[in-house]
Amino acid sequence: MKYLSFILCILFTIVSNGQEKRSPTIIVLNSQETIIAQELDSITQTYVTKKLDAQGKKRIREENGKKFKFKAQKEIDFLQNTDISSNISFGLNYWLSFKFFEYFENMLIYPAKESNDSGIRTLEAIADKHDVNWVINIKRVEFYVENGEKKAKVDFQLYNQKFNEIVIEDQITAGDKNPGFEFACENETLSCVINNSISKMSVPILYFIGQNRNYWR
């Protein structure tokens, strides 16, 4: 994690010192398919919410501040009806926002619910609809148990609107061990599976966006 932060610092410093200062516009989509092992079903039900209460809405607005009212509303909309996989999408949105805000105060990143077939034409239409340059599409999330350890496999894509190209097509596997630092969690829980999924997904995404300035618009 420290190595990644160092690399990002170098990449984004180069970008921000250039003649143009363009900021990332990204949406993180909900999982298109979620599979849950039977032995985890009762636990995952605790992550299901039908409505975000007034206190939750207030917290999101306060965290985003006056500058990001639009982002706050999008996050509130996303959290109105969620399941366990929604935590990965929302958490990735939160982590990317945190990392990019260090260098681009006018960035725009938020979660959104958009059903799609993971094809390039559909992703292009979603990017155009939201007027963003990047779409992170979570194609499939599978929660399962292997040798007594809770795990998740996440298939995801990173789509770039400028070149109409899927630049990342990848799968990560995350376990339930506490990684510490920013992603600290209660060991051997699904919260750790979620946090480790977010952490692993963010590495190639942050690196590609930071390294490939020609893809920025």
Kindly state whether residue 186 falls inside one of the protein's structural domains: yes
Contact 87/195 with Cβ under 8 angstroms?
no
Decide if 73 is inside a domain. no
> Is 104 a domain residue?
yes
Q: How many domains does the chain contain in total?
A: 1
Range of the domain at 138: 21-48+83-215
Burial class (CB in 10 A: 0-12, 13-18, 19+), 206: buried
User: Does some domain include residue 75?
Assistant: no
Can you give the pLDDT at residue 217? 87
* 20, pLDDT greater than 50: no
pTM of the model: 0.90
Q: Is residue 59 part of a domain?
A: no
Flag whether 65 is in a domain.
no
205 in a structural domain: yes
DSSP reduced 3-state for 121: helix
- Average the pLDDT over 129-151 and give the result: 98
CATH number assigned to the domain comprising residue 159: 3.40.50
Mean per-residue pLDDT over the chain, rounded: 91
Mean pLDDT calculated for residue range 187-207: 97
Instruction: Specify if 101 maps to a domain.
Output: yes
